[in-house]
Structure 1
């Protein structure tokens, strides 16, 4: 992490492109992930109105995806 960047907070509200950057995944893969039933995705309206709360997403992600190699 760049030393000037603030650490991630569990209460951060992210757009899908921001989430993709945190996951180090491309946007299309990230859209596939957030379309899975049960993903804590909020729709605030409009074409680009999808949001996730970082802490909620991480909890859900950890429960629904396996650690590589296990």
Structure 2
């Protein structure tokens, strides 16, 4: 996992718990988010084997959530 002093790379491959940490949401919320149709998540076989490419997720996230 990345240290706070280093910026996140667009090419980072992360797990759902790491996604939750980066977004500062609960693991439950992160799993709910990646279950949305169209979310760029890669399933490697099983519920706990999901991976996300950070840059792909950010692009999807920005297009699906409204900035307030």
> Is the TM-score greater than 0.5?
yes
Relative to the length of structure 2, the TM-score reads 0.89
Asked if 1:42 is matched to 2:42, the reply is: yes
CA distance in 2, matches of 1:64, 1:47: 23
Deviation of 1:19 (Å):
0.3
Structure 1: 4+ residue segments shifted above 4 A: none
Structure 1 stretches of 5 or more lacking a match?
Answer: none
Which one has a bigger Cα radius of gyration? 1
Structure 2 stretches of 5 or more lacking a match?
Answer: none
Q: How many matched pairs?
A: 66
Q: Give the RMSD, CA atoms, in angstroms.
A: 1.4
Deviation of 1:38 (Å):
0.1
